[in-house]
Amino acid sequence: MQKRDVSVEEKKGLRNTKNLILVGVMMAVGVVLRLFAGVIAVGNMHPNFLIATYCLSIFVIKPNVKEAAIIGFISGAISQIGTSMAWLGLGSETLGAIAMCLLLALPLPKLVKPVVCTFLATLVSGFAFTGLAALTYANPMPGAQFVSMSMVTIVTALLNMVIVTVLSIPVNKVLGTEEN
């Protein structure tokens, strides 16, 4: 008698209910952090911790590019809460999430991957936001405003890379996901 092997293929990305719940929880955490980020204001601008939460989600669940774009777009929609520059987040967060997804394909060591990918994805999102602001709200953008927004982007990228790197370890352990 031959032994039967039954294998269950685990769904990746947003097709897995566990992953969908993780993204929802991460977005909720991002909203709470965003609401309290006002105390970290630089020139009336504050870091966007939603970027850290979607970067962490993407790092853990490894969605495809389309799913990453959806995660970014939803994050951009959420970022409309309390923004003075409406609609820019829809584009910048979508680009940041796509960047995070694509950057994960880089052949980097496990411990370096969340650092590099999150830092660069946050820069993509932040400078996309700054560029869109320059084109739509402040055309031409004063140099001081560009420098201020650029500094917020760089500081946010540094904060996000630390947050995602530190949190990816326990989140991966709790979920039993593999760090690639």
The CATH number given to whatever domain includes residue 28 is 1.10.1760.20
Measure the CA–CA gap between 29 and 80, rounded to whole angstroms.
16
Instruction: Examine residue 8 and state whether it is found in any structural domain, yes or no.
Output: no
Instruction: Examine residue 97 and state whether it is found in any structural domain, yes or no.
Output: yes
Question: If pLDDT is split at 50, 70 and 90, which confidence band does 10 have?
Answer: low
At 155, the amino acid letter reads V
In the chain, the number of structural domains is 1
Nearest to 168 by CA among 1, 6, 22, 43: 22
pLDDT, position 152: 87
For the chain, the average pLDDT equals: 87
Instruction: Examine residue 1 and state whether it is found in any structural domain, yes or no.
Output: no
Instruction: Examine residue 86 and state whether it is found in any structural domain, yes or no.
Output: yes
Q: From the centroid of its chain, how far is CA 6? A: 36
Q: From the centroid of its chain, how far is CA 135? A: 23
Angle, CA 43 vertex, CA 39 and CA 48 arms, to 5°: 55
Instruction: Examine residue 52 and state whether it is found in any structural domain, yes or no.
Output: yes
Instruction: Examine residue 180 and state whether it is found in any structural domain, yes or no.
Output: no
pLDDT, position 41: 64
Please give the residue range of the domain that contains residue 164. Answer: 13-175
pLDDT-wise least confident of 59-63, 75-79, 117-121, 175-179: 175-179
pLDDT digits (tens, 9 = 90+) for 140-165: 888 888 898 898 899 889 989 999 99
Instruction: Examine residue 84 and state whether it is found in any structural domain, yes or no.
Output: yes
